[in-house]
Structure 1
Amino acid sequence: MAVDVLNESNWAVEPRVFSDLGLWVMDQMKISTDCDLTIIFNEPDAMEELHLRWMNLEGPTDVMSFPMDELRPGDGTTDVEGMLGDIVLCPAVAATQAQSAGHSTIEELMLLTIHGCLHLLGFDHSDKDQEKEMFGIQRQLLLTYLAARPGELNEVIPLEISGE
Structure 2
Amino acid sequence: MSIEVNNESGHDVDEAEFAALARFVLDAMHVHPQTELSIMLVGTDVMTDLHVKWMDEPGPTDVLSFPMDELRPGREGEPTPAGLLGDVVLCPEVAAQQARAAGHSTAEELLLLTTHGILHLLGYDHVEPEEEKEMFALQRRLLLTFLAGR
TM-score range for the pair, normalised by the shorter chain length: over 0.9
Q: Residue 112 of structure 1 aligns with which residue?
A: 113
Structure 2 residue identity aligned to 1:89 = L
Q: Residue 10 of structure 1 aligns with which residue?
A: 10
Post-superposition, which runs of at least 4 consecutive aligned residues in structure 1 deviate over 3 A?
A: none
Q: Secondary structure in 2 aligned to 1:59?
A: coil
C-alpha distance in 2 between matches for 1:102 and 1:34:
37
Structure 1 residue identity aligned to 2:20 = D
C-alpha distance in 2 between matches for 1:16 and 1:33:
18
Is 73-82 or 119-128 further displaced after alignment? 73-82
Cα offset for 1:33?
2.9
Q: Residue 152 of structure 1 aligns with which residue?
A: none
Q: Residue 131 of structure 2 aligns with which residue?
A: 130
Cα offset for 1:42?
0.1
C-alpha distance in 1 between matches for 2:32 and 2:118:
13
Q: Secondary structure in 1 aligned to 2:104?
A: coil
Cα offset for 1:131?
0.4
The CA deviation string for residues 37-82 of structure 1, in whole angstroms up to 9 with x for no partner, is: 0000000010010000000000100000000100000022222121
Gaps of 5+ in 1: 150-164
C-alpha distance in 2 between matches for 1:32 and 1:92:
32
Map 1:13-162 onto structure 2 (within 5 A): 13-80=13-80, 81-149=82-150
Aligned length: 149
C-alpha distance in 2 between matches for 1:11 and 1:31:
30
C-alpha distance in 1 between matches for 2:33 and 2:22:
9
Cα offset for 1:4?
0.2
Q: CA RMSD in A?
A: 0.8
Identity of aligned residues (%): 54
Q: Secondary structure in 2 aligned to 1:45?
A: helix
TM-score, structure 2 length as denominator? 0.97
Structure 1 residue identity aligned to 2:56 = N
Q: Secondary structure in 2 aligned to 1:40?
A: strand
